Amino acid sequence: MTQVTTDLPLTLRPGRGLYTGFGKRCLDLGLAVLLLPLLVPVIALLWLAIRCDGGPGFFAHRRIGRHGRSFPCWKLRTMAPDADAQLAQALADDPLAAREWARGFKLRRDPRVTRLGRHLRRLSLDELPQIWNVLRGEMSLVGPRPITAGELAYYADDRLSYLAQKPGVTGLWQVEGRLDGCYRKRVALDRRYRTEQSLPLDLWLIWRTAGLVLAPTGR
């Protein structure tokens, strides 16, 4: 596994014990409750717009959480109702797209994404319903990117590093590695976060995420 370097401030160093065992959950609940009055009306309006566009407004995909527990990861629907069929056809017709998908389960030009869905993804608004996963304790505000059962094989010897943590709405990969589809880097960042997680680091990643939402990349 190659060493991953990021531009993390040098002052952000491992801080464990009380924070990782108790404080992190307090931070999740505190910020989630503070954000609810702002997020609920936005989610409701976006849900209505998606429903008018056809199909369900929400989409829940099974992801693997802490200790290997499966949970429904909630999002605003950004794909066409027949997304699975469209993906299978696109990968069958385009070998380059198939290789891109195999590297990181993402496509730069995803034929499944609706016109409204592209705007939601560009602004990262499709992930707002994950506040519910945070309140339920299935996710944390900061942690590894939630993965499917099939993706766990990519973690190889580092799978326990992922399974020891709650997936996060944001995290090192979302901030530092999102434009890089390399799974090797993604796994290394998840492993690094497990050893370095602390209150300053989590607050810094939340701050950086807010900046990325204000200056969206569309990825």
Do 169 and 142 contact (CB within 8 A), yes or no? yes
User: Whose CA is closest to 39, among 76, 79, 65?
Assistant: 76
Can you give the pLDDT at residue 100? 77
Tell me if residue 140 falls in helix, strand or coil: strand
Can you give the pLDDT at residue 47? 95
Rounded CA separation 168/194 (Å) = 12
Tell me if residue 53 falls in helix, strand or coil: coil
Residue spans of the domains in the chain: they are 18-78+113-214
Rounded CA separation 136/72 (Å) = 11
Can you give the pLDDT at residue 156? 83
The overall longest dimension of the chain from CA atoms, in Å, is: 52
In this structure, what is the dihedral angle of CA atoms 203, 206, 208, 209, given to the nearest 10 degrees? 170
Q: Is the pLDDT of residue 135 over 50?
A: yes
pLDDT tens for each residue of 4-63 = 344 444 344 444 578 887 899 999 999 999 999 999 999 999 999 999 877 899 999 999
Note the pTM of the prediction, 2 decimals. 0.81
Q: What secondary structure letter does DSSP report for 199?
A: H
Can you give the pLDDT at residue 93? 81
Rounded CA separation 113/99 (Å) = 19
Rounded CA separation 38/16 (Å) = 31
Number of H helices, E strands in the chain: 10, 4
Please state, in angstroms and as integers, the Cα–Cα distance from residue 140 to each residue in 95, 98, 116, 187, following that order.
36, 32, 27, 18
Do 187 and 172 contact (CB within 8 A), yes or no? no
pLDDT tens for each residue of 171-193 = 988 887 665 557 788 888 888 89
